[in-house]
Structure 1
Amino acid sequence: MTVRVERDKATGVAVVTLDREHRHNAVDLATAAELASTWREFRFDEGVRAVVLTGAGGAAFCTGVDRSVEVPQPASPYAMDDPLIAIGPKAADLWKPVVAAVNGMACGGAFYLLGESEFIVSSSTATYFDPHTSYGMVSAYEAVYMAQRMPFGEVARMSLMGTAERLSARRAYEIGLVSEVTAPEELLPAALRSAEILAGHPTEAVQGTVRALWSAKRAALHQALDQAPALITLGNLPPERQAALFTDRRSAPEPRVR
């Protein structure tokens, strides 16, 4: 199991932990399937009324897709198999509130999860960045998700600068990506405090409010995501070129944290 689930029957809060610390909580196919299954299960579990999502250890919340994952792609530029497309709670039609507790690095495919959480509580040591362009890849789904949560100039800079820059927790708070910044040891308690309040409210009202909030931007989000497969197919370097750039990453200068 690569996703750890802990339910507190007294509070109605479930804590979902990405449990691949040795891989910086990168998502492989098994993890993707477990996440999708977990969200679907919560839909029918009346004992779960709010969720905290986090990553094991302090180094990373999630570093996106595990690069060892190989997913054969169709030849058509109009379709693609994305291993992360169903890892978020909204993709599973879950409208119970999800609070993300971000510890360490959150980058690339982590934005599928952050993009479908209600709000983010961040450790002061967390950083946010999108490595795609550095490795010859189009940031499509990730950029679209973050464009729903960040000012355009900020998400454009993060998406385009690749591994050269990282967004600090402080800056993420200033631009509204993050709603609260805590000391590392206070991260989970702070996220749980909010989740327990949400779980204590009448669940029909909470879920209805979550659904209303998402309806405000869901049409534009879906229209933008529909363009992603073709943009990725047209703009990505061949896999072997991507792999070479990824291998060379250790010789790159240290990223600037702003």
Structure 2
Amino acid sequence: MSDLAFSTLLYEERDGVAFVTLNRPERHNAFDLTMADEIHSLWKTLRHRDAVRCVVVTGSGDKAFCTGIDRDVQVPQPSSPFMVDDPGVALGPKTADLWKPVIAAVNGMACGGAFYLLGECEFVIAADHATFFDPHVSYGMVLAYEAVHLAQRMPHGELARLALLGTAERMTARRAHEIGFVSEVVPDNEALADAAAWAAATIASSEPGAVEGTVRALWAAREMAKGQALGLAPHLVQLGNISAERQAELFRGRAKGDGWRAR
């Protein structure tokens, strides 16, 4: 249950986890300006919502996670070629300064502007029938912003192939897992929902400061030079660590080491 309501998103909270569903299935969950505004507003809202400690985002239906921007959307542009209004930028949780972990549960096609969102999630779980591709070059467009996001998550040759073959080829969930873009592949959408919910609930059960500080550190390691990231590390530890007494309590409670699963 939740007091938040949207026209292009479904939203639910359970046990510290926010479940966000892109809800334009008739358009393969392609985003329009309303969805871009709503999801950006949601990310901003979740920064202040202490009850939410982890987020799962997926798409409505079983055909598509998100197929980028709706091609019927007209985006007014500045007259200067040095300035661009790109609504896809609003999709990313990190762009909105949200440092609670976001898990993507990909339930079908993911292409184009979907990579703004996938590029700023902590990790991706995919149903076996999910596919990934980018149509930009097939339509005479430059793949730029999405390529920058994906370059942080997949080998150069794999990204170049995905980018340059356009609509002629789709990367399967299995191949995405082999190259490290997807962390887990499950048989179907029901298993996808279960896997994402389990991971999110596990994360949400940990101390929020420790989780958010770790997310910050992971992104610092990805985006900064090594020396800069290491310089930030002691500050993150100081901000996010709980007391030594509380750490000892948690250690005693979990010292048996059972309750884990292999992946």
Question: Do they superpose with TM above 0.5?
Answer: yes
Deviation of the 1:198 alpha carbon:
0.5
2:192 corresponds, among 183, 187, 202, to 187
1:205 maps to what in 2?
210
TM-score scaled by length of structure 2: 0.82
1:214 maps to what in 2?
219
Give runs of ≥4 in structure 1 deviating > 3 Å. none
Deviation of the 1:77 alpha carbon:
2.1
Tell me the secondary structure at the aligned position of residue 74 of structure 1: coil
Tell me the secondary structure at the aligned position of residue 105 of structure 2: strand
Q: Of the two, which has the highest radius of gyration?
A: 2
| CA–CA separation in structure 2 for the residues paired with 1:76 and 1:153 | 34
| CA–CA separation in structure 2 for the residues paired with 1:163 and 1:148 | 22
Task: Map Cα deviations across residues 102-137 of structure 1 (whole Å, 9 max, x no partner).
Answer: 011000000001000000000000000000000000
2:163 corresponds, among 150, 159, 184, to 159
Deviation of the 1:83 alpha carbon:
1.0
Report the residue type matching 2:183 in the other structure.
Answer: S
1:5 maps to what in 2?
11
Pair 97,143 (structure 1): closer, same or farther in 2 beyond 3 Å: same
| RMSD of aligned Cα (Å) | 0.9
1:137 matches 2:130: no
Unaligned regions of 5+ residues in structure 2, if any? 1-6, 226-263
Deviation of the 1:200 alpha carbon:
0.4
Report the residue type matching 1:138 in the other structure.
Answer: V
Report the residue type matching 1:2 in the other structure.
Answer: T
Tell me the secondary structure at the aligned position of residue 42 of structure 2: helix
| CA–CA separation in structure 1 for the residues paired with 2:90 and 2:98 | 12
RCO (CA 8 Å, sep 6+): is it higher in 1 or 2?
1
Deviation of the 1:219 alpha carbon:
4.7
1:72 maps to what in 2?
76
TM-score scaled by length of structure 1: 0.83
Tell me the secondary structure at the aligned position of residue 86 of structure 1: helix
2:181 maps to what in 1?
177
Deviates more, 1:77-86 or 1:101-110: 77-86
Q: Aligned residue pairs: how many? A: 218
Report the residue type matching 1:145 in the other structure.
Answer: H
How much identity, in percent, do the aligned residues show? 61
2:105 maps to what in 1?
101
1:110 corresponds, among 96, 114, 118, to 114
Deviation of the 1:155 alpha carbon:
0.6
1:31 matches 2:35: yes
Task: Map Cα deviations across residues 167-219 of structure 1 (whole Å, 9 max, x no partner).
Answer: 00000000000000001120011011000011000000000000111112235
Tell me the secondary structure at the aligned position of residue 19 of structure 2: strand
| CA–CA separation in structure 1 for the residues paired with 2:206 and 2:163 | 37
* 1:42-81 equivalence runs, <5 A: 42-81=46-85
| CA–CA separation in structure 2 for the residues paired with 1:156 and 1:212 | 28
Report the residue type matching 1:3 in the other structure.
Answer: L
Tell me the secondary structure at the aligned position of residue 121 of structure 1: strand
Unaligned regions of 5+ residues in structure 1, if any? 221-258
Deviation of the 1:75 alpha carbon:
2.4
| CA–CA separation in structure 2 for the residues paired with 1:139 and 1:219 | 23
Pair 170,27 (structure 1): closer, same or farther in 2 beyond 3 Å: same
Tell me the secondary structure at the aligned position of residue 155 of structure 1: helix
